[in-house]
Structure 1
Amino acid sequence: MRSVGLLMTGCLFLLFRLNAQPIGVSQIRKNVPLDSIRLSDPFILADKKTNSYYMTGTGGMLWKSPDLKLWEGPYLVAQTDPNSWMGPKPMIWAAELHSFNNKYYYFATFTNRAVKIDTVGKNVIERRASHVLVSDKPDGPYVPMLDATYLPAAKPTLDGTFWVDKDGKPYMVYCYEWLQNNNGTIEKIELKPDLSGSLGPGKLLFRASDSPWSREKDSTGHDRPNKVTDGPFLFLTKTGRLGMLWTSWIYDIYTQGVAYSKSGTLDGPWIQEQEPISPPNFGHGMLFRRLDGKLLMAVHSHKSEKGRTVRIPHLFEADLSGDKLIVGKQYVP
């Protein structure tokens, strides 16, 4: 999910109600190549139980594929409660699917545009937070659990992802948005054992300004670190090193970097790599293993065409066999 001030332009956000009905059969597309799908923040679950791939992202839709080559969709899978803080028509951003303890969990960011929680400068901040839904099947439907909220109502949070740390406890790792704090952060919060809610307060992992590679100009034209944190995703190398993909900007270029935890746990300290990990204008990445075990990275490309922002899912080869993540050439299924 992209930060509002920089990234909403050109996006079409799809809205859902409780007990949302599936898209009509005539609207489901079949045999669609990956590069023909327009989708921000792609996340792919390779599910061995069904021997299939499931792709989500911003918009709350789901695509299915047996082989990563051709896809079927989009399907409505998120069913939210209109009486919750999300309201009847929440935006759904950066959805992820995680298999855990024989259930499937839908980590996503929900925005209720009817509720304003703050105004900072010229930025009016809407009620927005990362949240978790649950299903017995990878293709849903995904429904609410017990807790009404996972993160503080007064803070705009986004791009929640899932990680079980060395202490054996589950966590959500998420961004606290720069629109309010003016220096975006990545934080963690402990989850209940069944992921039905959160426990205790969140904890800071690092700030956008810690990055040596992300840059922007201030109002006087002077160079400074970019303020955006976006799209965290955790991984382990073969040597047991804990890393995190995350995305920001180099001026007007969408860019993805990597940080590594010195302690091997979420508590860090997090050491930022000096250079980006992906080519320019690719970001919000995640790693998954193909059903045959080959490691791939899913990202979206980010470009402007005739005044519209176009985002397309792409795959790259990746390697975690050493002490750090190596991203290879683009992968064509």
Structure 2
Amino acid sequence: MILSLFKYTLWACTVTLLCVTDKIAAQNVAPAVKTDLPLDSIRLSDPFILADKPTQTYYMTGTGGKLWKSKDLKKWTGPFTIAQTDPNSWMGPAPMIWAAELHAHNGKYYYFATFTNKAIKLGEGLERRACHVLVSDRPEGPYVPMRDSTYLPADKLTLDATLWSDTDGKPYMLFCHEWLQNDNGTIEKIALKPDFSGTTGSPKLLFRASDSPWSREKNKDGSDRPNKVTDGPWVFRTQTGKLGMLWTSWIYDVYTQGVAYSQSGTLDGPWIQEKEPITPPNFGHGMLFRTFDGKLRMSIHSHKSVNGRTIRYPKLFEVDDSGDKLVVGKQLIDGR
């Protein structure tokens, strides 16, 4: 467990360092916008793609909070700065932005993201990190705050917010409760107000990291145990009506994505974990979108080492949702 904790702490520090570097080079200074960028030339964790029908444009964002746009998924233009946070809020003047998502709803566009204020500490030196939602009239932003100053308890480290409207007709924010704080990461839900300007009620647990049969880490005595990490939930429904959820953890030191299915067909579950990961090793934090010609795709990131540094970059996979269970197909080399 000590070795495992060291690995995760080292990984978290690496991600933090990369994000801080991105802030200095890209957020505090206007980024240089480039055109005709191949997908695999973009460095990006947690890639999210909105296929916006009104503009017939694909919009991609993720960790770092920037935006790229494309007409064909092959060539991209960006990055653009789109988030305008309140410097007087708990986020501070220059929050780190993680795992941003874009959702269109009732004529508006919503920016679900995790914001970190390094100046605020929550016990044992943990930086305040929480999910929040911004709004815009346009997919390209700017995205600005709404009414409520917080969406989740201020003393709870949360991340990787996403959106799902359940069978009760209500919208919900799904999120992870950080394993660094509870030592067994969770995926939870909380009801959103109809205009997404805040939340109502209390969070409800859906499942824990330890429920996974495929994730692994080492105990102090060298024996295996389930991994602590929950990351990147994404809810979907197959064409047969089966409700599923992608989510990511680790198999020892390999980032890996699994899937669970709800027996009840609602967010309340119970959620039954598949025995094996759904994607190849070294891929995680995936989401699904449908292209303008109707093809289902998974946007996901992978890793490679460049001059001793871990670089994260987006990839696309073919996906088949015609049955009760999602089937991931081949990786698309050029993004088509």
- Tell me the TM-score range normalised by the shorter chain: over 0.9
Pairing 1:6–2:8 present: no
Instruction: Summarize deviations over 1:3-24 as a string: whole Å, max 9, x none.
Output: 86633415234449xxx89936
Structure 1 residue 89: Cα displacement: 1.0
Cα RMSD over matched residues?
1.5
Aligned residue for 1:329?
Answer: 330
Q: 1:63–1:71: 8 Å Cα contact kept in structure 2?
A: yes
Match of 1:80 among 76, 79, 85: 85
Cα distance in 2 for partners of 1:129, 1:4 equals: 19
- Work out the CA distance in 2 between the residues paired with 1:219 and 1:9: 24
8 Å contact from structure 1 (residues 239, 323) kept in 2: yes
1:149 and 2:150 are equivalent in the alignment: yes
* Matched-pair contact (CA < 8 Å) for 1:111–1:129: yes
Where in structure 1 do 4 or more consecutive aligned residues deviate above 6 Å?
none
Contact 2:19–2:96 under 8 Å retained in 1: no
1:185 aligns with 2:186: yes
Q: Is the 8 A contact 1:15 1:92 kept in 2?
A: no
Provide Cα deviations, 1:204-234, integer angstroms capped at 9, x if missing partner.
0000000000000123322100000000000
Give the match's secondary structure for 2:126. Answer: strand
Q: 2:61 — aligned with what?
A: 56
What is the letter of the counterpart of residue 40 of structure 1? Answer: S
Q: 1:5 to 1:131 in 2, by over 3 A?
A: farther
Which residue in the other structure is 1:133 paired with?
134
| Residue 122 of structure 2 is aligned to residue 117 of structure 1 | yes
Tell me the CA shift for residue 307 of structure 1: 2.5
What does 1:1-333 correspond to in 2, within 5 Å? 6-9=11-14, 11-13=18-20, 14-15=22-23, 23=30, 27-119=32-124, 124-331=125-332, 332=334, 333=336
Name the count of aligned residue pairs.
Answer: 322
CA contact 2:179–2:228 (8 Å) conserved in 1: yes
Structure 2 CA distance for aligned equivalents of residues 100 and 141 of structure 1 = 16
Q: What is the percent sequence identity of the aligned residues?
A: 70
- In structure 2, the CA distance between the partners of 1:170 and 1:4, relative to structure 1 (3 Å rule), is farther
d(CA) in 1 for partners of 2:12, 2:187: 18
The one-letter amino acid of 2:229's match is: V
CA distance in 2 between partners of 1:304 and 1:260 (Å): 34
Q: Which runs of 5+ in 1 are unaligned?
A: none
Which protein has the bigger helix share?
2
Normalising by structure 2, we get a TM-score of 0.93
Aligned CA distance change for structure 1 residues 60 and 8 (closer, same or farther; 3 Å)? farther
Give me the whole-angstrom Cα distance separating, in 2, the residues matched to 1:206 and 1:218. Answer: 21
Structure 1 residues 82 and 33: CA distance shift in structure 2, 3 A: same
Offset, 1:308: 1.1
Question: Residues 4, 195 of structure 1: CA spacing in aligned structure 2 closer, same or farther, 3 A cutoff?
Answer: farther
